[in-house]
Amino acid sequence: MNFNWHTRISLLIVTAFAVYFEYTAILVPIEIIAFWFMGYFNTVYASPDIDHKKSKPTQNLGAVGWVTSRTFKHRGLLHNPWFWTLFYAFIGYYIYNEYAYEAWYLTGGLIAIYTHLILDFISTKYKRTRTKIKRSLHF
Ligand SMILES: [Zn+2]
């Protein structure tokens, strides 16, 4: 799936969650903004596709993107949901320990990443199924 569709769907889902949190008052407004910003950040900049040399997020990250795209194999560690879950759990734990503050807004980043991974999974399945059907039609 290309960057524009990843961005549209990811921001739609993160925004839907943000509206829900506003409506239910689960988070205070400043946290909702931070939540949405994390979703935006993990969609446009620190997306799992920073493991690909020519992806838009890699270009958006500049030098950091250059390093990550050459360090990680495409669709390897950075496309593993456990990596990101543990990464943000670690950051959340650190913030809680240092500032006694539960940084729930970090889940905005995780939602963007999970959306990306689900979309990659669906588009890969779709492409494989389409290829199988095309092959079977040749006989
Ligand atoms: Zn991807």
Q: Which 3-state string (H, E, C) describes 43-68?
A: HHCCCHHHHCCCCHHHHHHCHHHHHH
Ligand 1 centre from 24 Cα, in Å? 32
pLDDT range class, residue 1, cuts 50, 70, 90: confident
In our burial notation (b when 16+ CB lie closer than 10 A, e otherwise), range 11-45 reads: bebbeebbeebbeeeebeeebbebbbebbbebbbb
Give 26 Cα–ligand 1 centroid separation in angstroms: 30
Domain count, the chain: 1
Distance 70 CA to ligand 1 centre (A): 15
Read off the pTM: 0.90
Going from the Cα of 28 to the center of ligand 1, the distance in angstroms, rounded, reads 32
Which structural domain range is residue 102 located in?
Answer: 3-137
> Given its phi and psi angles, is residue 47 left (phi above 0), alpha (psi -120 to 50 degrees) or beta?
beta
pLDDT digits (tens, 9 = 90+) for 81-101: 999 999 999 999 999 999 999
Ligand 1 ion local residues (Cβ < 5 A): 48-49, 120
137 Cα: distance to centroid of ligand 1 (angstroms):
30
What's the pLDDT tens digit per position in 34-67? Answer: 999 999 999 999 999 999 999 999 999 999 999 9
Report which of 53, 87, 88 is spatially closest to residue 67, judged by C-alpha positions.
Answer: 53
